[in-house]
Amino acid sequence: MKVYTVGTSSAVPTSERGLAANLIDFNGERLLFDCGEGTQRTLMKEKLGIMKISRVFISHWHADHFSGLLGLIQTLELEGREKPLYIYGPPRTEEFTERILDTGYFNRSYDIFAEDLVEGEEVIGEDYQVIPFEVEHGINAFGYVFQENDNVKANKDKMKELGLGESPKIGELKEGKTVEWNGNKIEPEQVVETVPGRKVVYSGDTSKCQNLIEHAEHSDLLIHEATCLHEMISDRRGHTSALQAGEIASEASVAKLALTHFSRRYRGKEEELLEEAKSIFEDTELGQDGKMFDLSPHRPE
Ligand SMILES: [Zn+2]
Ligand SMILES: [Zn+2]
């Protein structure tokens, strides 16, 4: 599973950074989280073909988070896409998507389905779910949890020990049921191991918020906005400083923090943001456009 920070500038792009976008590449499927201006070109540079994008999750409808959507929709048409594209987001996502589709003249070879989500409403995919949660940004705004399904496996050695061999009962044990085998009762815990799925959380735009800390708990990677240094945060309502992003990562006990959504005021000085976050949470990296974070599968507990 590979995660990319695709666009890492806030509000206005710079020559080095496009507007907000992140991509999860999971089992050959690509999920896009926000689609700011510049998203397509960065994906092309990284050879991340856009045709594999199945779903787009918009964190909120500020233009720096969706301004690349019209271009993406158009390119998919020109490339002859046939399979549908799903667009999810906070309330009014359906309405805003319809307006984008009603802008200018363009054809479409495929269907677009837009859906307004509410907090906690899971979008179920092949072996994963995406769960929106509310954040604090002054308008309807979500962060998202990407959660890979847990992998429930039978331990072959333990099965042998219990004389289960290739027993058909294994399916029931995996479902958590107690079974009878050769006159003995076997509990699922005796044979079944659960490997927890990987978890990635994206903050969208938000001030430091408890709901996010709770949803980000124990994630493998937290992609969090860090619009400015802490000294500026009182001027940036609805946003987070690098220091606060570090606090959030620490309070949520995440494995790694990737910073994104930098104000152009820090152009060329992004290291200052990194240092500030690192003073609280060591395992922090700066997001760059096209930077990849490789998350290997967990081992059995
Ligand atoms: Zn923004
Ligand atoms: Zn915003």
Q: What is the pLDDT of residues 1-20, one digit of tens each?
A: 999 999 999 999 999 999 99
Q: Does pLDDT of 212 surpass 80?
A: yes
Where residue 298 falls among pLDDT bands split at 50, 70, 90? very high
Mean pLDDT (whole number) for 205-215: 98
pLDDT of residue 154: 83
Quick one: which of 111, 128, 60, 125 has its CA closest to 88? 60
pLDDT of residue 190: 87
Residue 263 makes CB contacts below 8 A (sequence gap 6+) with: 10, 11, 227, 228, 232, 236
Domain ranges of the chain: 2-150+196-294, 153-192
- What is the percent of the chain where pLDDT is above 90? 81
What are the Cα distances from residue 15, in Å, to 7, 74, 127, 181, 287? 11, 24, 37, 66, 15
Measured from the alpha carbon of residue 135, the closest ligand is 2
What mean pLDDT, rounded, does the chain reach? Answer: 95
Query: Residue 171 Cα, ligand 2 centroid: separation in angstroms?
Result: 47
First to last CA, the chain: 20
| Each residue's pLDDT tens digit, 38-76 | 999 999 999 999 999 999 999 999 999 999 999 999 999
- What is the percent of the chain where pLDDT is above 70? 99
Residue 33 makes CB contacts below 8 A (sequence gap 6+) with: 21, 22, 23, 24, 56, 57, 59, 144, 202
Measured from the alpha carbon of residue 61, the closest ligand is 2
pLDDT of residue 301: 62
pLDDT of residue 171: 84
Residues serving a catalytic function are 64
Measured from the alpha carbon of residue 206, the closest ligand is 2
Q: How far apart are alpha carbons 245 and 284 in whole angstroms?
A: 10
Amino acid (one-letter) located at 231: E
Q: How many CB atoms lie within 10 A of CB 157?
A: 9
Q: How far apart are alpha carbons 296 and 209 in whole angstroms?
A: 28
Where residue 161 falls among pLDDT bands split at 50, 70, 90? confident
Strands 184-186 and 151-154, sheet pairing: unpaired
pLDDT of residue 184: 84
Domain at 2-150+196-294, CATH homologous superfamily: Ribonuclease Z/Hydroxyacylglutathione hydrolase-like (3.60.15.10)
pLDDT of residue 165: 75
Amino acid (one-letter) located at 50: I
162 or 206: which carries more pLDDT confidence? 206
Q: How far apart are alpha carbons 245 and 240 in whole angstroms?
A: 6
The DSSP call for residue 293 is E
Q: How far apart are alpha carbons 95 and 276 in whole angstroms?
A: 39
Q: How far is CA 247 from the centre of its chain?
A: 20
Query: Residue 206 Cα, ligand 2 centroid: separation in angstroms?
Result: 8
Q: Does pLDDT of 159 surpass 90?
A: no
| Each residue's pLDDT tens digit, 237-281 | 999 999 999 999 999 999 999 999 999 999 999 999 999 999 999
Buried b or exposed e, range 201-240, using 16+ CB within 10 angstroms:
bbbbbbbbbeebbebbeebbbbbbbbbbbbeebeeeebbb
| Each residue's pLDDT tens digit, 134-154 | 999 999 999 999 999 999 888
**What stretches of 20-176 adopt beta strand conformation (E)?**
21-26, 29-35, 53-57, 85-89, 112-116, 123-125, 128-134, 142-148, 151-154
Name 186's bridge partners: 179
Query: Residue 237 Cα, ligand 2 centroid: separation in angstroms?
Result: 10
Query: Residue 138 Cα, ligand 2 centroid: separation in angstroms?
Result: 9
Amino acid (one-letter) located at 241: S
Query: Residue 10 Cα, ligand 1 centroid: separation in angstroms?
Result: 5
Under a CB-based contact definition with an 8 Å cutoff, are residues 43 and 18 in contact? Answer: no
Where residue 233 falls among pLDDT bands split at 50, 70, 90? very high
- Which tokens in the block code for residue 231? 């000294």
